[in-house]
Amino acid sequence: MKWQIQGFAIKGIVQGVGFRPFVFNLAKQCDCSGDVCNNGLGVEIRLCGQQKNIDLFIQRLQSELPRLARINQIQSLPENQLDIESFSEVIESVKNNQPAIFAIRATPQKIANSAENNQKISTLISPDASLCDDCRSELLDPKNPRYRYPFINCTHCGPRYTIIADLPYDRPFTTMAGFELCKSCQQEYSDPQDRRFHAQPNACNTCGPQLSLLNNQGQPIDGDPIEQTLERLRQGEILAIKGLGGFHLVCDANNADAVAKLRARKHRPAKPFAVMAANTASLERWVTINPSTADLLKSAQAPIVLCQKQSQIELQINGVADGLNQLGVMLPYTPIHWLLFHQAAGQPATEAWLNQPQDLLLVMTSANPSGEPLVIDNREAINRLSNIADYFLLHDRDILIRNDDPLLIAGTEQQPSIMIRRGRGYAPAPVFLPKLLNKNNDLNILATGSYLKNSICYSQGEMAHFSQHIGDLNCVGNIEFQKEIYRHLSQAYQMQPDIVIADSHPESPAVRFAQQISQQLNIPLLQVQHHHAHIAAVMAEYQLAQPVIGLALDGLGFGGQSLDISQVADNKSLLGGELLLVNADGCQHLGGLQPLALPGGDAAAKAPWRMAASVLFSTGNSQQIKSRFKDFAAAAFTETMLQKQLNCPKTSSMGRLFDACASLLNICQVNSFEAEAASKLEAAAAKDASQSNSAAASEQPTSLARITSSSSQPFVLDLLPIFNVLIQSSIPPISISRQNQLAYWFHQQLIEALARWVISASKKTGIKDICLSGGCFLNQILAQGLQQKLQQLGFNVYLPICHPVNDGSISLGQLYAARMHLNKVQPQQHKVSGDK
């Protein structure tokens, strides 16, 4: 028998996900001898056997992966790296035609002590995962030793990223280090044939974490915590429940008084809540669930998914997501969640109930005082949330890194689901970038993201560690959270940045953070303009290197120099709608929306009626300001401000134009949460969109917008002609049906205008690749309508799917723009605001 010795280095998410026992069993099935171990790069496999068996092993290794495993690279190892001497016993057994023997080697000590030895780490941290079906069956089986144990898990599910302090992923480096395994759990942990072999969070009721229920004074509540929690939810109380990546505030979604109480205490008058139900059969009462959405809800990531509401839902769960056409829904993803629904179903002994509609519907919202970081610590929860929650369902397994629920928009048969917020289940899974052509490829690059919806991106070569949602950097807590993630990734991967990338806004805390790192480490700092980063993030997702036309539409972006390109707008412009040419050199400003006055400055972002007043003034209809907005005491003064241009900075924000339209149609006059007016405008348009013979749509079949030019901007898009018609068509009083018609008509006019704008730029540049980005493209009528329109005209159109289209991807875009730039040049120090 001819046999071979071969070794393989496996990179990817291959630690803590059942990969080594999978390799162990697969090798035996393929009649291969050898061993497997973790190391700082991932997993190393040594094989000895017939070539055909080794080839079969590698084929099945890639096609039969465990639930959470992901292979990014399989690299053959040269013989001199295989330590043949330690492999002699295996070789002898193969020589003597003995049955295949395979072992799981311990992690080499120099790797286990990587932090002390400055050993490079590039294995990947697995995101947290929802409870798998096998563990759920054991959890709900009265005959199982782990029946109703709230922390059941295995190598296919449970906490990962949020409990890891260091790599490699072994129990002593997690927050489970303080829980010594009992004899039974240790036996599972040590058995390669067991599903819990080297499951680091493995535990049971004898040796593992425990639940407790406290009131908001910190006093324990007697009785079974799950039973007592459900009873209090049914009584209309608000519970703070500790989960995987942080606490949730929870109440009964069917109890309007409880929902109203939660809104009042959290100072959240209208922002929509997400709800959790036992299964898709329960959710179908409230929203439309297609097969792809059902699969997404049941996936290891288990995100919140925005789904289309069923008709008449407002009458049944009033107060959860009023005035919107979508509802965020999710399924249970931790044992605690499943136990609550199991308790509500009467603790059935069989699993039939899992596919039957259940009555319990829970509001699940992030447990944080408005705008502040998610609460993760027990004492912190009671201190910060006792004025919101009546009771606290706690446990003693610490959360090391906060990670909020991910949020996606449901896909359709034609469109995939779309990421809005990156979080639990997705972060910190890496993004892989094209290899650079020069030695800059090995540089570690840190991108510090944007002011709003901050994230950071930290690369090792082609691998970019893309963080979870951090939040707006307008509070100290989120600024510290950003630094916390930076420190955690630096520690876990034993890396330090060689270059740092920042936004171009001089006052952003993210820029100041980048400046501090640049100065402390004496490394170059590059700056990438906000909209440039938006477009580069799309390019990163689709691995584009060729020049593109970028259309960025959002609320606000600071203009200025981006890398080494100076052909941009006024360095202090407040840009919200911009057309760019983006390539490896940087970005070139092609045009923007015609600026409008922003009466009251930042106050206009919270008061759509102010932007409507600006539109009325700019179209020669200022006499309508007082009559339309007579309920607002500042209406008369706002007219004076516009006439005298007092505190009326100019803005080209597309977001503010959606506000203006929503106000003129009397859909929303005041924003109580970000994009409330725009969201309600889209909901109104969606109600009319299904009517193909829409009266409003037929009134103006072609775009009314004008495209003009100036010395600094070849293409300026003026949307005021659209508003001229809208103003005349919306004289109060206006019926709801007419609101819906005009909302849909406005969207169609925008799509036509934006398409013409892109066509004009394409004719000048010869570029047919178009990237769309910015928060306004969360509007699905706009995003899908414009994408389809441009595709019909022969353009290649790229919209973000896997990464947020809003500012949540700015850090990824900054990193990608910098790497494209570094592919051509050596890094240099770029002067930033504050440098001397």
Active-site annotation, residues: 20, 38
188-196: Cβ within 8 A, 24+ apart: 192/20, 192/21, 192/24, 192/25, 192/104, 193/21, 193/25, 194/21, 195/18, 195/134, 195/154, 195/155, 195/156, 196/154, 196/155
- What residues contact residue 829 under an 8 Å CB cut-off, 6+ apart? 518, 524, 525
Q: How far apart are CA 513 and CA 448, in angstroms?
A: 7
Closest CA to 738 of 678, 684, 808, 698: 684
First to last CA, the chain: 73
Q: How far apart are CA 160 and CA 198, in angstroms?
A: 13
User: What are the start-end ranges of the E strands in 441-529?
Assistant: 444-447, 457-460, 463-466, 499-502, 525-527
Q: How far apart are CA 344 and CA 328, in angstroms?
A: 22
Q: Which DSSP symbol is given to 154?
A: B
Q: Could you please report the per-residue DSSP string of 373-441?
A: PPP-SHHHHHHHHTTT-SEEEEESS--SS--PPPEEE---SSS--EEEE--TTTTT-EEE-PPPSSGGG
For tokens 């280095």, the residue is 9
Q: Which DSSP symbol is given to 202?
A: -
Q: How far apart are CA 677 and CA 253, in angstroms?
A: 24
Element (H, E) at 42: strand 42-49
Q: How far apart are CA 677 and CA 655, in angstroms?
A: 9
Phi, psi of 727 (to 5 degrees): -60, -45
Phi, psi of 785 (to 5 degrees): -65, -45
The sign of the dihedral angle between the CA atoms of 528, 530, 535, 541 is positive
Q: Are the CB atoms for 25 and 43 separated by under 8 Å?
A: no
Closest CA to 741 of 784, 686, 796, 792: 686
Cα–Cα distances (Å) from 668 to 273, 323, 525, in that order, read 19, 10, 42
Q: How far apart are CA 449 and CA 446, in angstroms?
A: 9
Phi, psi of 501 (to 5 degrees): -120, 140
Paired tokens of 110? 């120099």
Q: Are the CB atoms for 419 and 439 separated by under 8 Å?
A: no
Q: Are the CB atoms for 677 and 667 separated by under 8 Å?
A: yes
Amino acid at 350: T
Q: How do 769-773 and 716-718 pair as beta strands?
A: unpaired
Q: How far apart are CA 213 and CA 656, in angstroms?
A: 46
